Amino acid sequence: MAELAGKVAVVTGGSLGIGRACARRLGAGGAAVVLCGFDDDSVADALGELRAAGLDVQGRRADVRSAAEVEGLVRLAVESYGGVDVLVNSAGIQRYGDVVDTPEEVAELVAFLVSDRAAAITGGEVRIDGGLLSQIGVVLPDAATEARSS
């Protein structure tokens, strides 16, 4: 990923799990990384780990359901590094249980995350200063990719 040198990557959900792994890999490939997470502790933990590995990373708490908080995340990237080249949208929710027993607020959140409004805020195609950002869901291993294409 040497082609990422000089690039700026924003990773939503970058404080945990797949998002943190994406942030780590992008940073190792030379990108400056701006990440967010749902709580201050996980963001601080991710920043500490990634900085200890020598990566150039900034971050903040942000709830991707809030346009204002996402704008703040993008503003951090622009102020820190001058723009955004890559967007990894890894923010999500995880709830267990029977659909019949799903609380209304969780059902509403899931409905929001698959709506056009959420895509406009956190994924889909978003243009910032002429650049194109695309939502990235999952990176499949080569074998899985080949199996899907046959």
Q: What is the pLDDT along the chain (150 residues), one digit of tens a residue?
A: 567 899 999 998 999 998 999 999 999 999 999 999 999 999 999 999 999 999 999 999 998 878 788 888 888 998 999 888 888 888 766 555 666 676 776 666 555 555 545 444 444 444 344 443 444 443 333 333 333 343
Q: What is the pLDDT of residue 63?
A: 87
For residues 113 and 93, the answer to whether their CB atoms sit within 8 Å is yes
**Could you tell me the pTM of the whole model?**
0.68
Q: What is the pLDDT of residue 118?
A: 47
Q: Report the top-level CATH class of 2-149.
A: alpha beta
* Dihedral angle sign, alpha carbons of residues 75, 62, 123, 89: positive
What confidence score (pLDDT) does residue 71 get?
84
Tell me how far apart the alpha carbons of residues 137 and 88 are, in angstroms, rounded to a whole number.
8
Report CA dihedral (138, 40, 25, 34) to the nearest 10 degrees.
100
Q: What is the pLDDT of residue 102?
A: 67
CA separation for the pair 24, 64 (Å, rounded): 20
Residues 6+ apart with CB under 8 A from 112: 65, 118
* 106 phi and psi angles, rounded to 5 deg: -70, -45
- Which of 115, 134, 111 lies closest to 124 in space, CA to CA? 134
The pLDDT assigned to 111 comes to: 56
